[in-house]
Copies of this chain bind each other. A is one copy, B any other.
Amino acid sequence: MGSVTTAGSRSPRRTPRRESTLEAILDRAVEIMADVGVAGLTMTRLARALSIQPPSLYKWFPSVLAVHDAVFARGQRANLAAWRAGLEGRPAGLEAVVAGMTATAQWAVTHPVEAQLLFWRPVPGFRPSAAAMAPADELVAELREHLGTAVSRGQLAPGADSADGLVVLASLHFGVVSQHLANEPEAAWADGAYTRSYGRVTELFVAAYPPA
């Protein structure tokens, strides 16, 4: 299965020049999505925003869904990076989980377009490629490892690192994020009614898996 993300994986490979052009295109795509909705991105609009003609875009992306996939993939990478930056320097275990989850929640709030694309299913024909999903799998694996550490250190009850525990934690986490995106996407982290209560997420998760 060839890459869906970019056109011409044949000769020009990836020069820094090409890379930064692609980034610029994706930046514009996100701006458009913020304007007209995540499902409102079209090649024509994207070309207009870049001051080029629509056919020129096909040198960079083979289809409009490939653009969606590239935005999705970049979003997943950024979300994973936010998670890792958030837990950097924290002791492994519960503290790292709390810091990392909070960081990804904050990333979602500051990147509502990408968050909608990642966490909802708003674009009719679009299914993210496996490659684009890979960072999400990494994040879950790392999260699960930290939950295991928290359990082994007696910070959480056994089961917090099970599939059930992840379900509970994801529900709590995405409950806040999803309500924020749906009801007050313009609000900043400190001002949002839902985000202001994010601290409860981790408190309630601990309440669900209380240490002995």
A161-181 with Cβ < 8 A to chain B = 163-164, 167-168, 170-176, 178-179, 181
Q: How far is the CA of A164 from the CA of B204 in the complex (A)?
A: 15
How many residues of chain A have a CB within 8 Å of chain B?
Answer: 36
Q: Given the known A-B contacts A171-B176, A175-B173, A179-B171, are A120 and B123 also in contact in the complex, defined by CB atoms under 8 Å?
A: no
Stretch at the interface among A20-28, A33-41, A70-78: A33-41
User: Is B208 a contact of A39 with CB atoms below 8 Å?
Assistant: no
Q: Given the known A-B contacts A36-B124, A178-B178, A182-B121, are A197 and B168 also in contact in the complex, defined by CB atoms under 8 Å?
A: yes
User: Is B124 a contact of A40 with CB atoms below 8 Å?
Assistant: yes
Interfacial chain B residues near A181, Cβ < 8 Å: 121
Interface flag for A58 (CB, 8 Å): no
Interfacial chain B residues near A39, Cβ < 8 Å: 37, 39, 122-124
Which of A175, A181, A193, A201 counts the most chain B CB atoms within 10 A?
Answer: A175
User: Is A163 a contact of B193 with CB atoms below 8 Å?
Assistant: yes
User: Is A182 a contact of B119 with CB atoms below 8 Å?
Assistant: yes
User: Is B179 a contact of A170 with CB atoms below 8 Å?
Assistant: yes
Interface flag for A194 (CB, 8 Å): yes
A105-126 with Cβ < 8 A to chain B = 119-125
